[in-house]
Amino acid sequence: MSTQPNGLVEIPRSVLSMAVGMIDTVERVVVGDARVRTARRNAWEAICADRARALRHDEVRRLISQLSVGSSPRSKASQAAVGPSAGRRAARS
């Protein structure tokens, strides 16, 4: 009994190679050379997205720290009532 291959195994490699080349050419014509997706381009876009996310995260942390370190009038009033020396003593401890 001989088994007959199915699917992609039946297609000669040269036909597959031509098909892939044609798809690549069509993609370049449709979207342009500058916008063809490559692994390098995908990696660079991921790096840029990570950097942008990190910048947003740092900005949020900075804003939160500004809000929590005496930027409100209530906080300024309580700091004035306690006095500046109390803050220095707490920082030394």
pTM above 0.75, yes or no: no
Greater model confidence, 52 or 92:
52
Q: DSSP 3-state assignment of 20?
A: helix
First to last CA, the chain: 87
The encoded tokens of residue 5 equal: 């291959």
Predicted local distance difference test score (pLDDT) of residue 1: 47
- Number of structural domains the chain divides into: 1
1 found inside a domain:
no
Residue 3 lies in a domain: no
Parent domain of 49: 12-74
DSSP letter string, 27-70: HHHHH-GGG---HHHHHHHHHHHHHHHHHHHHHHHHHHHHHHTT
Lowest mean pLDDT among 17-21, 31-35, 77-81: 77-81
